[in-house]
Chains A and B, each alone.
Chain A
Amino acid sequence: GAGVSQSPSNKVTEKGKDVELRCDPISGHTALYWYRQRLGQGLEFLIYFQGNSAPDKSGLPSDRFSAERTGESVSTLTIQRTQQEDSAVYLCASSLMPRPNTGELFFGEGSRLTVL
């Protein structure tokens, strides 16, 4: 597609439920990133995909968080048994060049998650 697409744009869920967030990167971009941004804060790195594998998962905050990527395209971030502290905007970005030659990241508009 023309840009990075994320869905849903907004998600309100109850504590304890599972949620799935989806990212469609720019076609041909082999590198894909997930970041989390709490209100008024900077971006926290979560996970990096190169193709379909994730050589860097160091930012995932707990085992409730997981992500996968298929077809070197779509990625899904899953949060199990959501907690209120998971409330944030989850941003996906893709890049043409893989690490370490990371160039410009193209970001989606984010998925705003609210856990009640």
Chain B
Amino acid sequence: SQQGEEDPQALSIQEGENATMNCSYKTSINNLQWYRQNSGRGLVHLILIRSNEREKHSGRLRVTLDTSKKSSSLLITASRAADTASYFCAPNQGGKLIFGQGTELSVKP
């Protein structure tokens, strides 16, 4: 079964707004990773948060992890048109990364 489930499936916002994507998973994890995929391209790693961390920042990205709720969120602040892409979470269960179906983010100029 899918380990990472993203929500919402699609999100459309205006440039400058914040975008929040959520991820839920089913079993205990070593870490959780977020990736970005531009249309027709490979995936690019964004950020990794360890199971003993609660929050992590990287530039305009903020990731939170709640292991008690088995959930994570990715916040992109001050979004830009160039942030338009699909975003995937990948919980790491015993070394195995299981990707969900992703959130398709559209940022309109």
Whether the Cβ atoms of A42 and B2 lie closer than 8 Å is yes
Interface centre among B31, B42, B90 (most CB of A within 10 A): B42
Work out how many contacts link A and B, with CB atoms closer than 8 A.
60
Give CA–CA (A110, B100) in the complex, Å. Answer: 18
Chain B 77-109, CB within 8 Å of chain A: the 1/0 string?
000000000001010101111111110000000
- A93 to B100 CA separation, bound complex (whole angstroms): 16
On whether the beta carbons of B30 and A100 are closer than 8 Å, the reply is yes
> Are A105 and B43 within 8 A (Cβ)?
yes
A86-106: contact bitstring with B at CB < 8 Å (1 yes, 0 no)?
A: 000001010000111111111
Chain A residues within an 8 Å CB radius of B98: 45
Q: Does A49 interact with chain B (Cβ within 8 Å)?
A: no
Residues on the A chain within 8 Å of B101, using CB: 41-42
Cα distance A31–B8 in the bound complex, in angstroms: 32
- Count of B residues near A, CB < 8 Å? 24
Q: Mark B25-56, 1 if CB is under 8 A from A, else 0.
A: 00000110101000001111100100000000
Interface size class of A (residues with CB under 8 A): 20 to 34
Contact: B42 with A110, CB < 8 Å? Answer: yes
CB < 8 Å: which of B33, B94, B96, B100 contacts A104?
B33
A43 vs chain B, min Cβ distance (A): 4
Given known A-B contacts A42-B99, A100-B30, A101-B30, A107 and B94 have beta carbons under 8 A apart: no
Q: Which residues of A contact B (CB under 8 A)?
A: 4, 33, 35, 41-43, 45, 48, 56, 91, 93, 98-110
Task: State the B residues within 8 Å of A (CB).
Answer: 2, 4, 30-31, 33, 35, 41-45, 48, 88, 90, 92, 94-102
A-B contact pairs, 26 of them (CB 8 A): A42-B2, A42-B88, A43-B99, A56-B96, A91-B42, A91-B43, A93-B43, A99-B94, A99-B95, A99-B96, A100-B30, A101-B95, A102-B30, A102-B31, A102-B95, A102-B97, A103-B48, A104-B48, A105-B35, A105-B45, A106-B45, A107-B43, A107-B44, A109-B41, A110-B41, A110-B42
What 7 A-B pairs come out closest when comparing CB atoms? A99-B95, A100-B95, A107-B42, A43-B99, A42-B101, A104-B45, A107-B43
